[in-house]
A and B are shown apart, each in its own frame.
Chain A
Amino acid sequence: MLWEVGGGLAGVALAQLEAQAAPRKPGPHFAPKAKNVILIFLPGGISHIDTFDYKPELVKNHGKQTKGENTITPFFGKPGAVMKSPWEFKQYGQSGKWVSDLLPHLAQRADDMTFFHSMVSRSNAHGPAIFQMSTGFIFQGFPSVGSWVSYGLGSENQNLPSFVVLPDPRGLPPCGVANWGNGFLPAQHQGVMFGDQKNPIADLRAPVAANVQAASYDLLSQLNEEHLGAHAGDDALAGRIRAYEMAARMQVSAPEVTDISGENEATRELYGLNDPTTRAYGYNCLLARRLVERGVRCVQLFNGGHFGAPRINWDGHEDLRANHSRCAAVMDKPTAALLKDLKQRGMLNDTVVVWTTEFGRLPISEGIGEGGRDHNPEGFTAFMAGAGLKPGYSYGRTDELGYKAAENPVTLYDFHATLLHLLGLDHTSLTWYHNGLQRRLTDVHGHVIKDVLA
Chain B
Amino acid sequence: MPILNRLLLFGLGIVAMRGAEFDRDVRPLLMAKCMRCHGGDRTAAGFDMTTAQSFAKSGVVVKGDPAASKLFQFVSSGKMPMGGPRLSEEEVGLLGDWIRGGAAWGADLAAAKKKTWWAFVPPSKPKVPKIDGVLNPIDAFLLAKLQTKGLAFSPRANDRDLTRRLHFGLTGLPPSDADYTRSYAENVEKLLASPAYGERWARYWLDVVRFGETDGGEHNFERFHAWRYRDYVIDAFNSDKPYTQFVREQITGDLLAPKDPQMVAATGFLVAGPWDSVSAELNKDALMKKTARMDELDDMVTTTFHSFQALTVNCARCHDHKFDPIPTRDYYSLTAVFGGVGFGTREVATDAAKAAYESAAKPLQAEIARVQKELDAIELPVRTRLMRERYQALDEKRRDEKYRVPLSPFFNRNTFAPVTAKHFRLVISGQSGKLPKIDELELRPAGLRVASFIGAANATAAAPVIVSIPSSAPATVSEMVWSTDRVTGKGDGTIRVYSLEASDDGANWRAIAGSLDHVSANELELPSVSDKDLIAALPAAGRQRRVDLLAERDEWKKKLEAVPPLAMVYAAKPHPVEPAYLLERGSVAKAKEEVFPGALSALAHRSASFGFDASAPDDKRRNALADWIADSKNPLTARVIVNRVWYYHFGNGIVNTPSDFGQMGDRPSHPELLDWLAVSFMENGWSLKWLQRQIVSSQAYQQSSALNEKAFGLDADNRLLWRMPLHRMDAETLRDSILAATGSLNSERGGPGFLLQKKGGGGSYIYDVLDNDGPPVWRRAVYRFVVRGGGRIFMDSFDCPDPSVATPQRSNSNTPVQALTLLNNTFVLKQSERMAERLTNEAGAGAAAQVARAYSLLFGRAPSEKELRAGVSFIASHSLAAYARVLFNTNEFLYTP
Contacts and interface: CB of A to CB of B under 8 A. Distances in A.
A binds B: yes
Interface stretch (B174-182, B282-290, B564-572): B282-290
A369 B889 CA distance: 63
A437 interface: yes
B870 A310 contact: no
A233 interface: yes
B33 interface: yes
B249 interface: no
A428 B37 contact: yes
Contact of A310 (B522, B768, B803, B804): B522
B210 to A, nearest CB: 8
A9 B809 contact: yes
A148 B300 CA distance: 28
B726 A231 contact: yes
Interface in A366-411: 367-372
A310 B824 CA distance: 35
Given A14-B656, A307-B762, A127 B218 contact: yes
B218 A125 contact: yes
Interface in A1-27: 3-11, 13-14, 17-21
A207 B813 contact: no
A317 B790 contact: no
| Best-surrounded residue of A74, A318, A434, A436 (most CB of chain B within 10 A) | A436
B819 A244 contact: yes
Contacts of A326: 523
A233 B892 contact: no
Interface string A260-290: 0000000000000000000000000000000
Given A226-B866, A428-B37, A310 B892 contact: no
Interface string A110-132: 00000000000001111110110
Which of B523, B821, B890: most chain A Cβ within 10 A? B523
A369 B384 CA distance: 28
A139 B874 CA distance: 50
Contact of B664 (A8, A18, A240): A18
A426 B83 CA distance: 7
A136 interface: no
B820 A215 contact: no
| Dominant SS among interface residues on chain A | loop
Interface in B750-780: 760-764, 766-769
Nearest to B810: A10
A21 to B, nearest CB: 6
A207 B524 CA distance: 40
A329 interface: no
Interface in A322-347: 322-323, 326
B354 interface: no
Interface stretch (B368-376, B468-476, B793-801): B793-801
Interface in A205-227: 205-208, 212, 215-216, 219-220, 222-224, 226-227
Nearest to B811: A186
Contact of B790 (A178, A369, A429): A178
A297 B306 CA distance: 35
B516 A369 contact: yes
Interface stretch (B198-206, B598-606, B705-713, B840-848): B705-713
Interface in A299-326: 306-311, 317-319, 321-323, 326
Contacts of B762: 306-309
A43 B368 CA distance: 43
A250 B816 CA distance: 8
B690 interface: no
Interface string B801-827: 111111111011111111111011110
Contact of A76 (B284, B525, B657): B284
B707 A240 contact: no
Contact of B815 (A128, A176, A243, A318): A243
A369 B217 CA distance: 32
Contacts of A434: 805
Contacts of A11: 652-653, 656-657, 666, 809
Contacts of B892: 223, 227
Contact of A227 (B816, B817, B891): B891
Contacts of B516: 369-371
A31 interface: no
Contacts of B11: none
B217 A140 contact: yes
A306 B217 CA distance: 12
A232 B707 contact: yes
Interface stretch (A33-41, A91-99, A100-108, A187-195): A187-195
B283 A125 contact: yes
A123 B279 contact: yes
A177 B791 contact: yes
B824 A250 contact: no
Given A176-B789, A319-B403, A203 B651 contact: no
A309 B815 contact: no
A308 B766 CA distance: 11
Given A172-B766, A319-B523, A436 B282 contact: no
Given A11-B653, A371-B516, A176 B32 contact: no
Contact of B895 (A4, A237, A318): A237
Nearest to A216: B886
Given A124-B288, A203-B824, A233-B712, A367 B403 contact: no
B802 A207 contact: no
Nearest to A76: B284
Nearest to A191: B790
Main secondary structure of the interface of B (DSSP, over half): loop
Nearest to A320: B520
A202 interface: yes
Nearest to A327: B523
Contacts of B521: 309, 318
B632 interface: no
A240 B276 contact: no
B133 interface: no
Given A176-B791, A438-B36, A127 B276 contact: yes
B218 to A, nearest CB: 3
A236 interface: yes
B278 to A, nearest CB: 5
Given A370-B497, A428-B83, A231 B523 contact: no
A141 interface: yes
Interface stretch (B16-24, B51-59, B443-451, B877-885): B877-885
A311 B709 CA distance: 62
B139 interface: no
Given A74-B284, A186-B799, A175 B218 contact: yes
Given A14-B657, A21-B85, A219-B870, A174 B811 contact: no
Given A323-B520, A367-B497, A369-B499, A231 B707 contact: yes
A142 B807 CA distance: 12
B812 A126 contact: no
Nearest to B312: A436
A190 B815 CA distance: 11
Nearest to B883: A219
Contacts of B106: none
B85 A128 contact: no
B814 to A, nearest CB: 4
A204 interface: yes
Contact of A125 (B282, B311, B522): B282
B122 interface: no
A185 B814 CA distance: 13
B761 A171 contact: yes
Nearest to A13: B717
B54 to A, nearest CB: 18
A78 B395 CA distance: 29
9 contacts: A11-B666, A19-B32, A19-B36, A20-B84, A125-B276, A140-B802, A202-B825, A206-B823, A436-B312
Q: 3 tightest A-B contacts by CB?
A: A308-B762, A141-B804, A77-B284
Given A188-B813, A436-B311, 14 more contacts: A4-B813, A11-B657, A125-B288, A130-B218, A139-B805, A140-B274, A141-B803, A186-B812, A187-B813, A308-B761, A310-B526, A368-B461, A369-B430, A370-B516
